[in-house]
Chain A
């Protein structure tokens, strides 16, 4: 069975500093990995995805993520955090076969401190 782990419930970072939100996964076969962001009382918005190819994936709002196959990780990064980046971030994995079920992590709350 596939699974996603986000080991940190909350990450605090000062505005202007680099940020990292961690994600590890377990899946049989090729992983399709996603990051989503959720602002208060809203649905989830897609940020970026890894399908194949370059291990560094660039997405919306200056975010990027690094795929590491040997460590089964897909960490979300941004070189310089903004206060407006404060939100809840979810990592997800989608299986390539069967009904292509999507499994989400438990989410990491990012707090950017002015």
Chain B
């Protein structure tokens, strides 16, 4: 079974803190994604990576950065957390071929106070 593992299920951070969300996949997928999920807005793409050290901005990259030093690991960084970044964060991975589905982690519910 494909596994996408996010380092935390729940996180509470203070405004202004630097926050790291980690994601690891074990299926040798080329693509990895970070989404943010908010009620009524669905899933919005923050960043994605199609190879090691490669990244592309998604629809809402402001206030976020990412790092992909190894193929299996994709990190999302909140440089200075703000209350409007309180949300559910979902990591996903997939093969590069477009007819393949994405596999998701269990999600990290981040609360910024």
Contacts and interface: CB of A to CB of B under 8 A. Distances in A.
B89 to A, nearest CB: 10
B106 A43 contact: yes
User: Which of A41, A44, A90, A106 counts the most B-chain CB atoms under 10 A from its CB?
Assistant: A44
B88 to A, nearest CB: 9
A84 B31 CA distance: 32
Ranked nearest first, the 8 interchain pairs of A and B with the lowest CB-CB distance are: A43-B104, A106-B42, A104-B43, A46-B101, A51-B99, A44-B104, A100-B98, A96-B98
B48 interface: yes
Query: Chain B binding site: helix, strand, loop or mixed by DSSP?
Result: strand
Contact of B42 (A32, A94, A104): A104
Interface in B57-108: 58, 90, 92, 94, 96, 98-99, 101-107
Interface of A: 6, 9, 32, 34, 36, 41-46, 49, 51, 90, 94-97, 99-107
Interface residues of B, number: 27
B73 to A, nearest CB: 17
Contacts of B4: 43
B104 A45 contact: yes
14 contacts: A9-B40, A34-B102, A41-B109, A43-B90, A43-B106, A44-B102, A46-B101, A49-B101, A90-B43, A94-B99, A97-B98, A100-B98, A102-B102, A105-B42
A64 B73 CA distance: 33
